[in-house]
Chains A and B, each alone.
Chain A
Amino acid sequence: MQNLTRLLERLAEAGVDFVIVGGFAAVTHGSSYLTRDVDICAVLTPQNVARLRQALADWNPRHRMTPQKLSFLDYPAGDQPLKNLYLETDAGVVDILSSVLGVGDFERLKSTADQVEVDGRTYAVMSLRDLVQAKEALGREKDLLTAKELRAIAAKRGERL
């Protein structure tokens, strides 16, 4: 059973430094669209990767883009530089991206992210403005639809994008 909320809690508990991006960031801002994965932006330093492994260890994390579904706990070994990770776990799919198209890298996203508190934990969430920019940069029909919804949310919150 999918539990994206628990996934995020685990990552935060393990001390992974990340920004929630993509569809789940849209849900956080009030979007009514569903997403089957959680996308985060993070710098994949060896320390962050170790924290990710610790956070996901008992949820059988595997590389969903590899035919053999290689275990994230074993692969890649060592301090191999990583750009993105596409993982599926027993709690749901989590994609870890080093940057977001149309907006920028982790530092850029973090500098404008909204801080959201849930159950005593503070999460960095991609700002509405950045999210709209990213969705419009992707340009797919479903992303443009989400961008329209996010613009309506911004208007309801009295924010100008």
Chain B
Amino acid sequence: MGDIAQIYEEARRAGIDLELLDSNLALPVKERWRLHDEAVNLAEALRGGLISHNAKSHPTAGTAR
């Protein structure tokens, strides 16, 4: 029992969200895979949007006047 408490404590101290793990573990594997792919694609879309936004807001030195 002490081992488990220590494992949880180390995870918490490392910033791991144990409640999120409970949510993940409650899902079937197919759903874990689907949510993961969705999250990666969302992150990519946001990254692309940010790059595009930054390019418009902060033109490079060569093109700025």
Q: Please report A residues at the B interface, Cβ cutoff 8 Å.
A: 1-5, 8, 24, 27-28, 30-32, 34-36, 116-119, 145, 148-149, 151-153, 155-157, 160
Contact = CB atoms under 8 A, between A and B. Distances in A.
A119 B34 CA distance: 12
Contacts of B22: 156
Contacts of A149: 11, 14, 16, 21
Contact of A153 (B3, B14, B25, B36): B25
Given A2-B37, A32-B20, 7 more contacts: A24-B36, A27-B32, A32-B17, A148-B16, A151-B10, A152-B11, A152-B16
B7 A119 contact: no
Contacts of A2: 37, 40-41, 44
A118 B37 contact: no
Interface residues of B, number: 27
Nearest to B9: A152
B29 interface: yes
Contacts of B54: none
A26 B36 CA distance: 11
Contacts of B4: 155
Contacts of A157: 25
A35 B37 CA distance: 9
B43 interface: yes
A2 B16 CA distance: 26
Contacts of A145: 14, 16
B40 A34 contact: yes
A45 to B, nearest CB: 27
Interface string B1-39: 001100110110010111011101100011011101101
